[in-house]
Amino acid sequence: MERRRFMQTLSMGVASLALPGCLKNKKPSLEKPNILFIMSDDHASHAISCYGSQINQTPNIDRIAKKGIRFDNCFCTNGICAPSRAVILTGKHSHINGVRDNRLAFDSTQMTFSKLLQESGYQTALIGKWHLKSDPTGFDYWNILPGQGHYYNPDLIEMGVEKRMNGYVTDILTSTALDYLKTKRDKNKPFLLMFHHKAPHRNWQPPLRHLSKYDDVDFPEPVNLFDDYSTRSAAASEQEMTLREHMQPDYDLKMGAAPERMTEEQKKAWNAVYGPRKKAFEKEKPEGNDLVRWKYRRYMQDYLGCIAAVDESVGKILDYLEESGIASNTLVVYTSDQGFFLGDHGWFDKRFMYEESLRMPLLVSYPGFMPAGSVNQDLVSNLDFAPTFLDLAKTRIPQEIQGISFKELLRGEEINDWRESFYYHYYEYPAVHMVKRHYGIRTKKYKLMHFYYDIDAWELYDLEKDPHEMNNVYGDPAYQDITKDLKKELQRLRDKYGDSEELDKRFIEEDLKARK
């Protein structure tokens, strides 16, 4: 672990903050805690009420924060679905674990923390979205969605056998997870359950009960909904993720037919809501910025309707833990595979290293282990999940793991030599949404990004003065020394993690060859 401190000008320092009056409790009695890892897909932190959401309430997800700890600076190393999942499983960056983008399959023969827990006596299970192309390994039980899965009447693959299920995907996965906890696990062993939701992934199909939940809500607009990207060449060039130009009317905004997988009864309920919305749109015929506002509102209605079902799911799982008497011995984690743009910069989707996409929600509770209702500001990452789980389970942490256990941070303690800079690398270009390849570094105060491949562009943000990242100050003489130090630290991290220009060139050649 690095022990030298990074330049003080590049960081606000290390701080682990606990709410006033919170005292440490005694340690839990179970030597190896149960681990319940709940991960949604594309759930932005700013759509969770304990993170200060201005657009929705998530009372059940908030229960985890109230009983445990909220991490405000948890970041993904590569902001896209499959790579993030591979990083979580292995504790290694994308260029090491082999899943740089959604096109590549996960090598299931490599080390994962679930395999190590399995070897140490844990009963391991995976339920929900997998999205890594190969079959899961390191799990005693698995029941997964094929590929991205469907919102309505989805297929599930249980231990290699595929079966069509009737109902809404979030509800089905919740019932499956509860059934595992109640009937399928050996109650004499600690368990790892990785419970992965499909929601709220695009194209944001809420359950029938929530189709109209947000009809009467006026959503506050993001301050940069009409961003013109005037100081950012990569964002201004060919990205394809704007509400204005790239949100598809039939697919995203439900202006077309009801989903094919629906039953006739489901389609009837669906059309009863979306039919009048379509007629109202055709009557109003909004244009220009009014059209962007209309799309934003429709987007939020559906996106948040999906999250409402996820929140209900979390409540059912937490209720079971309490009713069954195992809550006191269970580590509960809620996160997402990355963040998401909710109209921020005029976008939907993720990928860019800007804050809304980079930041992952991370809420953790473990009764008696941490001060309830605490908040942490240290730079943590999905790279750190695997070593932390292994550490808590008193299981060996292989040297090949690149992340660091934050067990002490969970306790509310400081780690004096904790990281003061974080490394990110995105690879999927040219591909869907056309976000340029880039890598970068984030500290408590600054962010430096380098876009490459068919572009050579740098961006620098002073996150204290410009939290919405609207003003790229790269090249500003006032930031000359800061830029120099950040570039030096960026190269140090690339060397530390084994990333390089040579690898970038090799991966580009491999990707282009595979796409021919």
Any domain includes 382:
yes
Q: Return the pLDDT at 516.
A: 78
d(CA 486, CA 442): 9
Any domain includes 159:
yes
Residue 224 Cα distances to 179, 290, 466, 483, angstroms: 44, 15, 12, 25
Looking at the fold, whether 411 and 445 belong to one and the same domain comes out as no
Looking at the fold, whether 445 and 412 belong to one and the same domain comes out as no
CATH number at residue 454: 3.30.1120.10
Going 384 to 497 to 451 to 8, the CA torsion angle's sign is positive
Average pLDDT in the 86-108 region?
97
Show which of 420, 438, 454 is a domain's final residue. 420
Looking at the fold, whether 453 and 406 belong to one and the same domain comes out as no
Q: Return the pLDDT at 31.
A: 79
Any domain includes 398:
yes
Q: Return the pLDDT at 237.
A: 82
Question: Could you give the 3-state DSSP secondary structure of residue 313?
Answer: helix
Looking at the fold, whether 445 and 370 belong to one and the same domain comes out as no
Structural domain count, the chain: 2
Looking at the fold, whether 179 and 315 belong to one and the same domain comes out as yes
Looking at the fold, whether 37 and 144 belong to one and the same domain comes out as yes
- Which residues span the domain enclosing 362? 31-205+301-420
The predicted-structure confidence for 322-362, as pLDDT tens digits, reads as follows 999 999 999 999 999 999 999 999 999 999 999 999 999 99
Any domain includes 53:
yes
Looking at the fold, whether 327 and 447 belong to one and the same domain comes out as no
Looking at the fold, whether 462 and 412 belong to one and the same domain comes out as no
Any domain includes 137:
yes
- Please give the backbone phi and psi of residue 297, each rounded to the nearest 5 degrees, phi first: -60, -45
d(CA 410, CA 374): 9
Between 85 and 4, the more confident residue is: 85
**Banded model confidence at residue 6, pLDDT cuts 50, 70, 90:** very low
**Banded model confidence at residue 139, pLDDT cuts 50, 70, 90:** very high
Residue 368 Cα distances to 27, 125, 316, angstroms: 5, 25, 22
| pLDDT for residue 5 is more than 50 | no
Mean pLDDT of all residues belonging to the chain: 93
Q: Are 366 and 68 in contact (CB under 8 A)?
A: yes
Beta bridge partners of 168: 152
Q: Are 206 and 308 in contact (CB under 8 A)?
A: yes
Q: Return the pLDDT at 22.
A: 36
The predicted-structure confidence for 283-332, as pLDDT tens digits, reads as follows 999 999 999 999 999 999 999 999 999 999 999 999 999 999 999 999 99
Looking at the fold, whether 315 and 448 belong to one and the same domain comes out as no
d(CA 70, CA 50): 8
Looking at the fold, whether 352 and 474 belong to one and the same domain comes out as no
Residues in the chain: 516
Looking at the fold, whether 307 and 433 belong to one and the same domain comes out as no
The predicted-structure confidence for 164-220, as pLDDT tens digits, reads as follows 999 999 999 999 999 999 999 999 999 999 999 999 999 999 999 999 999 999 999
Between 159 and 237, the more confident residue is: 159
The predicted-structure confidence for 486-512, as pLDDT tens digits, reads as follows 999 999 999 999 999 999 999 999 998
Any domain includes 294:
no
Any domain includes 166:
yes
The model's pTM is 0.94
Looking at the fold, whether 66 and 169 belong to one and the same domain comes out as yes
The predicted-structure confidence for 469-493, as pLDDT tens digits, reads as follows 999 999 999 999 999 999 999 999 9
Q: Return the pLDDT at 56.
A: 98
Show which of 420, 440, 475 is a domain's final residue. 420
Q: Return the pLDDT at 342.
A: 98
